[in-house]
Structure 1
């Protein structure tokens, strides 16, 4: 039986790869403070409350004309198609942005369960 699959999606630099690495228990995805580091889908297995699942890290989605953005969006769309559940990561530090709203509209069209994860709420800077 296949493991349930979770896709981690959101706009650039909200902490998707950090969350992915934390759940995986090791550094699999590269984490930097610049946009566009994660471009392809990255897979790992995670476990929560004695339940195993597959997870997919994705690049940050935005509605801008930036280098590689079309490829990043395409990779994220594949991950969303493969997923049983989508974790939508937003930053509590910056609040909801136009890019977050763009991602939310894409997620709505998937008709899949979405879990909202508000990240960066522990850092007062």
Structure 2
């Protein structure tokens, strides 16, 4: 049985460019171990960016997020729980949200997420907020 997982971070960035072109972009100078600022801050040694989705808003608001629910892979398995978790967070300075998907089984990807326990450091532009394992029907 294939299990899937979603991990979610919220963040604060000066601009959309800073998020997409600087923070999430992989640096391939060291080809053996390309890395991104996101990966370093999230404390992920490696992840497959093809299974990541990041959204930037001028301000992160739950109403905006709900509008995009149907655009998000497998959202029916975790979205309502994610919204409930975000209601407990201070989003006033936040303007981005990043979703990283993983699965084990035949097409495994980002399997390290099943062992992921969040970030140790808090003085980063991102904050880890949510993790859920699920089995698609």
With structure 1 as the length reference, what TM-score do the two structures score?
0.29
RCO higher in structure (CA 8 A, sep ≥6): 2
Q: Structure 2 length as normaliser, TM-score?
A: 0.27
Q: Which has the larger radius of gyration?
A: 2
Name whichever structure is richer in helix by fraction: 2
